[in-house]
Amino acid sequence: TSSMNCTALHFAVGGNHLSAVDFLLNHKARVDIADKHGLTVIHLAAWTGSFEIMLMLVRAGADQRAKNQDGMNALHFAAQSNNVHIVEYLIQDLHLKDLNQPDERGRKPFLLAAERGHVEMIEKLIFLNLHTLEKDKEGNTALHLAAMHGHSPAVQVLLTQWQEVNGTNENGETPFFLAVEGGHEECSKVLLAAGSDINIPNKLNVSVLQTATRNGHTSLVNFLLSENIDLHQRMEPKESPLHLAVINNHVTVVNSLLSAQHDIDILNQRQQTPLHVAADLGNVELVETLLKAGCDLKVVDKQGKTALAVASRSNHSLVVDMLIKAERYYAWREEHPESIREPRAGFTLTFKQDHSLETRHIRTLLWNLAYRQLKTNEWQRLAHFWNFTDDQIRAIEEQWSGNESFREHGHRALLIWLHGVLMTQLDPAKHLYEELVRAGFPELAEKIRQFKSKTDSSSKKCTVS
């Protein structure tokens, strides 16, 4: 025997070598030696499904009731491997109905067949009256196990035996909950059609919608939403589905929840909105999505901080700039209700960094202004003149990288200003010139004009007529 305690007979049976098994049995090989896991050759034959070998071993006097370490006998192995012929032999020919016992995990052969999704075996065990509604030690029934692994055909057969589809296991999970948790859409639909309750949370009070959201299963989320699931069920971990989608960076799920009218400004236990969480994570895509959907930028969390304060504290300068652009955009919208002013045609609303070709010229101008011309503290003067709030200026200044920071800060402020101007102005450079004059920077205004005419003429030269 080898170190695993496997005999030559184990290898012959496991490898399905009929002649080798025959040879070994004729030479009086011992049939009941268990390997270190308690596996005997009769287990292996039931597992590989070799009927001839099974017959040879039984004739040679192998112990038909042997159990391995996990409390599994030949019937368990045959059920788990979908070997119908062997199950018939054990039950109908050898009359070993007493093999239908729970193993160490409390699972009868029927539960093992369900867990593997073996429809044929499930049907055979039902026919032999070996099916059971009993639970294993974790409180799972055969239906739970099949659902958990997404075996839809098996679930459909099991449902013919089931009265109570909403039974829960030790964790308070229904078969439907487990199907959703595993991301098994087809299975979820079958269970729903069979009358599963979509709104039963588990023991920790987590809903199926939270589970699907956390796992980022967009199509399952959409399916649940289409079934009118309770969106704002008061859950124990006070993270709403929207918070969970944000925390786990599932942008498509966020969009689905928002289209289903999920409350965009819902608070978690720290009184943060989803925007607070996205800002804290510095997630540009999610912040953009929430800003475009019109979330409330003024909400403060338990520490009295707005999303802007959270982002600047976390040093996410990209997000800080997006939030300031949004604050300024929505303030402008309030001052100019729809009737008076629409953003100009061709203006696509985005709060991200601008890399567009159309604005490259003016962005070069602003870069020059910030990095070559404005002195310390001059950008703040402009910012005040352009109605930046103190909080906005503070948020920009929070990202400090040394004495030269003011250039970078000024550049960011100028680009934020540009974002607002592009909504209403066709010629931002001309507008900038006028603004600099009005703000008391006539020399700078002059430099802008020279720079503008210089680049204008050079760009004209470059165009092919």
Residues 226 and 255 in one domain: yes
Residues 238 and 331 in one domain: no
The model carries a pTM of: 0.83
Considering 342, 370, 387, which residue would you say is the last residue of a domain?
342
Residues 202 and 276 in one domain: no
* Whether the Cβ atoms of residue 90 and residue 96 lie closer than 8 Å to each other: yes
DSSP characters over 278-345: HHHHT-HHHHHHHHHTT--S----TTS--HHHHHHHTT-HHHHHHHHHHHHHHHHHHHS-TTT-PPPT
- What sections of 81-216 are H helices per DSSP? 84-88, 109-116, 119-127, 142-148, 152-159, 175-181, 185-193, 208-214
Residues 311 and 393 in one domain: no
* Other CB atoms within 10 A of residue 355 CB: 8
Query: Quick check: is 375 in a domain?
Result: yes
Nearest to 121 by CA among 148, 93, 97, 153: 153
Residues 369 and 417 in one domain: yes
Query: Quick check: is 187 in a domain?
Result: no
Question: Total domain count for the chain?
Answer: 3
Structural domain of residue 365, as residue ranges? Answer: 354-462
Residue 304 and residue 313: Cα distance in Å, rounded?
13
Residue 215 and residue 195: Cα distance in Å, rounded?
24
Residues 306 and 208 in one domain: no
* Whether the Cβ atoms of residue 152 and residue 122 lie closer than 8 Å to each other: no
Residues 451 and 390 in one domain: yes
CATH number at residue 454: 1.10.533.10
Query: Quick check: is 46 in a domain?
Result: no
Query: Quick check: is 141 in a domain?
Result: no
Query: Quick check: is 293 in a domain?
Result: yes
CATH number at residue 255: 1.25.40.20
Nearest to 64 by CA among 27, 36, 37, 89: 89
Considering 263, 286, 320, which residue would you say is the last residue of a domain?
263
Residues 281 and 220 in one domain: no
Nearest to 1 by CA among 43, 46, 32, 47: 32
Considering 209, 232, 263, which residue would you say is the last residue of a domain?
263
Residues 243 and 275 in one domain: no
Rounded-to-10 torsion of CA 159, 160, 164, 165: 20
Query: Quick check: is 83 in a domain?
Result: no
Query: Quick check: is 154 in a domain?
Result: no
Max CA pair span of the chain: 109
Residues 396 and 321 in one domain: no
Query: Quick check: is 118 in a domain?
Result: no
**For each of the chain's 465 residues, which pLDDT tens digit applies?**
555 668 899 999 999 999 999 999 999 999 999 999 999 999 999 999 999 999 999 999 999 999 999 999 999 999 999 999 999 999 999 999 999 999 999 999 999 999 999 999 999 999 999 999 999 999 999 999 999 999 999 999 999 999 999 999 999 999 999 999 999 999 999 999 999 999 999 999 999 999 999 999 999 999 999 998 887 776 555 789 999 999 999 999 999 999 999 999 999 989 999 999 999 999 999 999 999 999 999 999 999 999 999 999 998 999 999 999 999 999 988 888 764 556 666 678 899 999 999 899 999 999 999 999 999 989 999 999 999 999 999 999 998 878 889 999 999 999 999 999 988 776 888 999 999 999 999 999 998 888 777 766 665 544 443
Residues 308 and 379 in one domain: no
Query: How much of the chain is in helix, strand and coil states, percent to nearest 5?
Result: 55, 0, 45
Residues 457 and 363 in one domain: yes
